[in-house]
Amino acid sequence: MLTIPRVVPAVEAGRALSEFSSDVIVGLSNPGQKELPSKYFYDEVGSALFEAICTLPEYGLGRAGKRMLERYSGEIMDCVPGQVMIAELGSGSGQQTRWLLEALARRQRVNYYPIDISRNALFRCQAELGQIEMVSIVGFERAYLDGLQEVAARRHDGERLMVLFLGSTIGNFDRPAGEQFLREVRSILRPDDALLLGTDLIKPIPALILAYDDPAGVTAAFNKNLLARINRELEGDFDLRCFEHVVRYDESERRIEMHLRSTVWQRVVIRKAGFRFYLREGETIWTESAHKYSSEEVVQMGERAGYRCVGQWFDFEWPFAESLFFAV
């Protein structure tokens, strides 16, 4: 049974909307490069589009994560002995987690705690994983670190907490922020708690560009939905036909960047935010970064953040790594 302990009361929903509104104002007021935070991609429409992206032949990342956990979950869980409880940061639909839960459920009853700001994602996760025998699910509709604090407080004596951060979501942070995030996760853990971290690895640029600029236009729709969401929730008047989806690879930063480029000079009004701004023809709004790593870099980043790496597994079809760390 899925329990979502935190119902979002009206006051809190209002607070979320005003945080969205102020993040939009700050990002679009930047005198240099205009930006919007990628965490706002995932409303109901954006989450469905992301699921569709994960099935695209060009987006090898989605299939690599699933393939690896299908193949290596048994080995991974053998490296994490004792009684284990599992928390997942940004569970999404939970599809790839199934293999890990099943592997663990072969030796114990499993308490699985998905943490996601999207209530929808938690329900999809329940639909996907709710039938696995020996597994009970308690979802937390919270920001990652807040949710993890609450999960850690439910730990029983002698139980080891294993945190899953899969799908290369860490790549959506800048490198220093990603490392800092791992450090903050570490501060909630005890020594020998585990972290399984998925990271997309550096690969030829044309394959990366296609993965984020698929010919069917699904990623373009995902990107533009951010403006559509502002229109829906904040009464914006973005004309989506006046934007194009742009994908670049920055070699020095080793990251994909997604932008929305204005095809005309335009004025945009966002009524609920009490905000208006202008875009020049050709000017872009930067909506997402997806950093790519080398396997050694992932180990070093983990070590600097307070972990030791106890195993790494690779997909060679779409270079991708699952790295298992223990907190030191």
Q: Residues interacting with ligand AVI, by CB under 6 A?
A: 53, 61, 167-169, 171-172, 212, 219, 288, 290
The two tokens of residue 40 are 């706002």
The least distance separating ligand AVI from the CB of residue 65, rounded to whole angstroms, comes to 9
Give whichever of 211 and 270 is closer to ligand AVI, judged by the CB atom: 211
CA angle 229, 129, 73 (to 5 degrees): 110
Q: Which of 67, 45, 64 is nearest to 218 (CA)?
A: 45
Sorted by sequence, the CB contacts under 8 Å of residue 26 that are 6+ apart come out as none
Give whichever of 21 and 172 is closer to ligand AVI, judged by the CB atom: 172
Give whichever of 61 and 64 is closer to ligand AVI, judged by the CB atom: 61
The least distance separating ligand AVI from the CB of residue 327, rounded to whole angstroms, comes to 23
In the chain, beta strands by DSSP E: 34-35, 84-89, 110-115, 135-137, 160-165, 194-200, 243-250, 255-262, 266-270, 275-279, 284-291, 307-315, 320-327
Q: What is the C-alpha separation between 189 and 164, in angstroms, rounded?
A: 13
Give whichever of 21 and 91 is closer to ligand AVI, judged by the CB atom: 91
The least distance separating ligand AVI from the CB of residue 52, rounded to whole angstroms, comes to 10
Q: At what angle do helices 119-129 and 44-53 cross, to 10 degrees?
A: 50
Q: What is the C-alpha separation between 230 and 213, in angstroms, rounded?
A: 22
- Is residue 274 classed exposed, middle or buried when 0-12, 13-18 and 19+ CB atoms within 10 A define those classes? exposed
The least distance separating ligand AVI from the CB of residue 199, rounded to whole angstroms, comes to 10
The least distance separating ligand AVI from the CB of residue 324, rounded to whole angstroms, comes to 19
Give how far Cα 182 sits from Cα of 148, 177, 264, Å. Answer: 12, 9, 41
Give whichever of 157 and 251 is closer to ligand AVI, judged by the CB atom: 251
Q: What is the C-alpha separation between 83 and 71, in angstroms, rounded?
A: 22
Can you tell me which residue has the tokens 């080891």? 160
The least distance separating ligand AVI from the CB of residue 290, rounded to whole angstroms, comes to 3
The least distance separating ligand AVI from the CB of residue 267, rounded to whole angstroms, comes to 28
Give whichever of 111 and 199 is closer to ligand AVI, judged by the CB atom: 199
Give whichever of 160 and 319 is closer to ligand AVI, judged by the CB atom: 319
Give whichever of 96 and 172 is closer to ligand AVI, judged by the CB atom: 172
Q: Which of 288, 277, 258, 230 is nearest to 28 (CA)?
A: 277
DSSP assigned state of 11: H
The least distance separating ligand AVI from the CB of residue 178, rounded to whole angstroms, comes to 12
